Amino acid sequence: MITERFPRAARCDRIAPFHVMALVERAQALAAAGHDVIHLGVGEPDFPTPPAIVEAGRAALSAGQTRYTPAIGIPALREAIAGFYQTRFGVTVSPERIVVTPGASGGLQLLMAAMVGPGDGVLLSDPGYPCNRHFVELVSATPQPLVLSAADGWRIEPAAVAAAWQPHTRVAMFASPDNPTGNVLSGEQVRGLAAVARERNGALIIDEIYQGLVYEQPAETALAVAPEVLVLNSFSKYFGMTGWRLGWVVAPPALVPDLDRMAQNFFLAPSTPAQYAALAAFQPDTLAELERRRQVLAARRAYLLEQLPALGLKVVGSPAGAFYLYLDVSAITDDSYAFSRALLEQAHVALTPGVDFGPGHQPSRYLRVAYTCDLPRLEEALVRLSRFMETL
C-alpha cells in the first residue's frame, strides 16, 4: 500500500518550478496536435552538434570508451581546454585547475557543495538564471538577490555588490554573457567585482557558459583580468552539445582536491563518450563551423534589434552576447506570463515570461526572446506577434 506519509525537506518548497516548462509542455502538445509552433522560448541552439564531435563520439564508443574516467575528467580533455584558453584568449591556465563536470549544472553543484553551506550567503543577479539560486538552496545556503535596474540596463556595478555584501556572504556569482539579458561584463567590471570579493575574503564565480557567443566585440574570459576568479563553462551553448551534458570549472589549485572528492561521491565521473567527443570541439574545422554559426546568430540578433522596436517592444540592456533579448512589454501588458500563454494559444509563438528570472525586478514587465530559429521563422514569428497584439 502506498502512503503519503514520508520525510520531506523544507527546501522542496524553496526550490521553485520552472514556470516556463508549463508553456513548453503546452507548445509541445500544440505541435503534436498539428499546429505550427515557433519556439523562441527554450535556451537551446537550433544547430546540431558539429559533425566532427559526433564522429569522435562514435569512434570512442566503437573503441570501447564506455568505462569510468577520473572523476574530474580525462587528462587529454583537461589539457585541451587549457590549450583553448591559451590559443583563443592568450591566457595560461594549468590543466590541473580544470575540473570536467556533467554539464555546467554539475559544475555549479560541485562549487556550491565545496564552498558554502548553512548560514552562508551567495550574491546573485536578479534578473538571472533561476537554477543558480536553486543550487544555493540545495546546500542550504542563502541566495542573496542583487536586484538590477532596467534604467541602468541591468549593469552590475562593483560598488553595488560591495554594498550588498553582508557579513555572512561568501560568494558572488554573475554571468557574462548573461541569461536572460545578454549583457556582457567588461574587463573593468570583472576587476572591480574580483576586488570586492578579495577584500572581503570571499570568492567570485563568473558563469561563462555563453562565452563564445559574443557580437560586435571579441569574446573574453574573466581569467584574463582576474586570475583568481572561478570560471564555470560548458560545451552546451557555443559548442552545440546540450544533450551530451558536459561542462568544466576553472578553480584555484587549493580547491581542486575538494571538487575532486565531491565529484567522486556525487557523479563518479562525467560521461566518458562525451569527453572523448569533446576533444574534437577544438579542432580547426570545428572551430570554423562554430564561427559560421556565431555569424548566423549575429544576423538573427541584428534583425530582431531592428524590428522589435517597431512593434513597440523595448529591448532592455546591452545584449552583446548569448542568444537572448530581454523585452519590456509593460506598455502592452501588466502580466507577461498571461501574455505568453495567450500568444502561444492564439498565435502559436512560444516566448519566456520574466517570472522565472527573479521576483525583484518586476518580472511581469518582461519577456525573453531566444533567437534560436532561422530568419524566415523569426520573420513569421514577428508577423504573428504583430497580429496578436492588434487584438489586445
**Can you give the pLDDT at residue 3?**
57
Q: DSSP string covering 61-89, please?
A: HHTT--S---TT--HHHHHHHHHHHHHHH
The 10s digit of each residue's pLDDT in 230-283 is: 999 999 999 999 999 999 999 999 999 999 999 999 999 999 999 999 999 999
Burial 41-53 (b: 16+ CB within 10 A, else e): bebebbeebbebb
SS (H, E, C) 141-159: CEEEEEECCCCCCCCCCHH
The 10s digit of each residue's pLDDT in 309-356 is: 999 999 999 999 999 999 999 999 999 999 999 999 999 999 999 999
The 10s digit of each residue's pLDDT in 63-122 is: 999 999 999 999 999 999 999 999 999 999 999 999 999 999 999 999 999 999 999 999
pTM (two decimals) = 0.96
Residue 324 phi, psi dihedral angles, 5° rounding: -130, 150
For residues 36 and 348, the answer to whether their CB atoms sit within 8 Å is: yes
Strand order in the sheet with 366-370: 314-315, 324-328, 366-370, 352-353
**Can you give the pLDDT at residue 239?**
98
State the helix-helix crossing angle for 284-307 and 375-390, rounded to 10 degrees: 20
